[in-house]
């Protein structure tokens, strides 16, 4: 895997003393969250609560997923100040985003997610690549991801997002908010120029409208979760041709969009 969680990183958790259900003293590791302020050139955009790893990817992915950075915008630098908890993304040409800043939508995301501008902007006319996914890939990914060392297993209170190619996990990002984890993956993809057309995005979060929208705008054709769906999320997935698979547990799942692109191990379509 190119990037994987490091549950032993002392910057991400700290021990806290307490008692268990029997009254016995215990020391538990808990996730540290802290604010990160994101700037686009000289403009302050948002302050997000995050665990603090990969701040450059988080900022780049957030701005891209919000439509504040288009594919044509040339990023000339990303500066992170650990003392100030500030990251500045710099572009060759400044753009006025006052209109987007005036239009905010509070999402259903953990850690109080915020979407700037029109949530549906960019989806009109979008059709994703018709990528096929096999059940064997899904089963293999679920097993690998569930057993992988992570902050979720060591401390809990965290969401994970994994970028995969067939049954190979490539990048595993975690954060207190599922949107942050997705944005980190988006930032990594933009920074590395990774082609999304043959990728699968696996998330521990719910398959809500904004999660489906983010995945679609990233150009990824398959979204998988161990959690459930919302009706609007399913509707949008069907509109843009996104394969949507939820309630993934072991070798059980439900596919509510793109079933014709799902191949079972016997070679038949689902």
Tell me the DSSP string of 107-161: -S-TTT-EEES-TTTTTTT-------EEHHHHHHHHHHHHHS--HHHHT-S-EEE
Distance from C-alpha of 196 to C-alpha of 179, rounded to nearest angstrom: 18
Domain-by-domain residue ranges, the chain? 34-116, 133-263
pLDDT of amino acid 108: 42
The reported pTM is 0.90
Q: What is the pLDDT of residue 96?
A: 59
Low-confidence residues of the chain: pLDDT under 70: 95-120, 266-270
Nearest alpha carbon to residue 208 among 179, 174, 166: 179
CATH for 133-263 is: 3.40.140.10
Report, at the CATH architecture level, how domain 34-116 is classified: Roll (3.10)
Give the pLDDT score at 95: 64
**pLDDT score at 111:** 43
Q: Residue 112: its pLDDT value, please?
A: 46
The DSSP bridge pattern shows strands 199-203 and 159-165 to be antiparallel
């Amino acid at each position: 895997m190119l990037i994987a969680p490091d549950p032993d990183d002392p910057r991400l958790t700290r021990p806290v003393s307490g008692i268990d259900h029997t009254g016995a003293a215990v020391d538990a590791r808990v996730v540290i969250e802290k604010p990160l302020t994101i700037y686009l050139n000289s403009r302050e955009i948002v302050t997000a609560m995050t665990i603090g790893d990969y701040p450059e990817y988080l900022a780049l992915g957030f701005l891209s997923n919000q439509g504040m950075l288009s594919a044509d915008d040339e990023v000339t630098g990303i500066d992170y100040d650990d003392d100030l908890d500030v990251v500045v993304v710099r572009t060759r040409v400044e753009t006025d985003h006052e209109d987007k800043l005036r239009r905010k939508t509070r999402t259903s995301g953990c850690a109080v997610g915020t979407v700037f501008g029109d949530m549906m902007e960019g989806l009109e006319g979008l059709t994703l690549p018709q990528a096929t996914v096999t059940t064997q890939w899904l089963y293999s990914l679920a097993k690998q991801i569930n057993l992988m060392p992570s902050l979720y297993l060591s401390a809990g209170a965290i969401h994970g997002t994994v970028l995969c190619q067939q049954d190979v996990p490539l990048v595993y990002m975690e954060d207190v908010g599922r949107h942050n984890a997705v944005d980190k993956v988006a930032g990594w993809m933009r920074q590395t120029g990774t082609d999304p057309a043959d990728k699968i995005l696996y998330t521990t979060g719910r398959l809500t409208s904004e999660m489906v929208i983010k995945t679609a705008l990233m150009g990824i054709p398959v979204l998988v979760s161990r959690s459930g769906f919302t009706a609007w999320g399913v509707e949008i997935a069907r509109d843009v041709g996104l394969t949507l698979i939820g309630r993934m547990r072991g070798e059980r799942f439900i596919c509510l969009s793109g079933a014709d692109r799902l191949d079972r191990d016997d070679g038949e379509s689902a």
